[in-house]
Amino acid sequence: QVQLVESGGGSVQTGGSLRLSCAFTGNRIRSYSLGWFRQAPGKELEFVSAIDSDGRSTYADSAKGRFHISRDKAKNTLSLQLFSLNPEDPAMYYCAAGQYVADKVRALEYNYWGPGAQVTVSS
C-alpha cells in the first residue's frame, strides 16, 4: 500500500524559505506522477506543482520562479523548495501520487495523499 508523509513545514517570515519533503513508501516512486497541492482556511484545494515519471515539471502561476519541485528516486522522496514566501502562501501543503495522471493540475487524478504539512508566513 502506497503511503505518503510530508515533513518540513513550519513558520517563516515574509521573504523566507522552506523545504517540504514527502516520504513515499509501498512502491517505487519512479513510475508515479507526483504533485503538491495546498489548501488555505476557507479556500479550495489548489494545485501548486507536479513532476511526472519522466521528470517533467509543471507549476501553478503563483509558484513559477519561486518554488522548485524535485524527486529523488534513490531515496524515494519528493521535495518542494519554497522561496520568497509571501502572505498568499500560508496553507496546508499536501503531496500526492498517481500512476495514471492525465491532467497534473487536477486533484482527482491522484490516488494517494499525505496528511499535509502546515506552512505559516508572518510579516
Tens of pLDDT, residue by residue over 58-82, are 999 999 999 999 999 999 999 999 9
- CB neighbourhood size of 30 (10 A): 12
Q: What is the pLDDT of residues 26-40, one digit of tens each?
A: 999 999 999 999 999
Residue 48 has pLDDT above 90, yes or no: yes
Confidence at residue 123, expressed as pLDDT on a 0 to 100 scale:
83
Taking every pair of Cα atoms in the chain, the longest distance, rounded to a whole number of angstroms, is 41
Give the alpha-carbon dihedral of 67, 88, 13, 91, to 10 degrees.
-80
- CA–CA dist 3, 7 (Å, integer): 13
Using alpha carbons, select from 56, 53, 1 the residue that is nearest to residue 24.
1
Mean pLDDT of 78-95: 97
Residue labelled with grid coordinates 499535509: 116
The one-letter amino acid at 11: S
The one-letter amino acid at 68: H
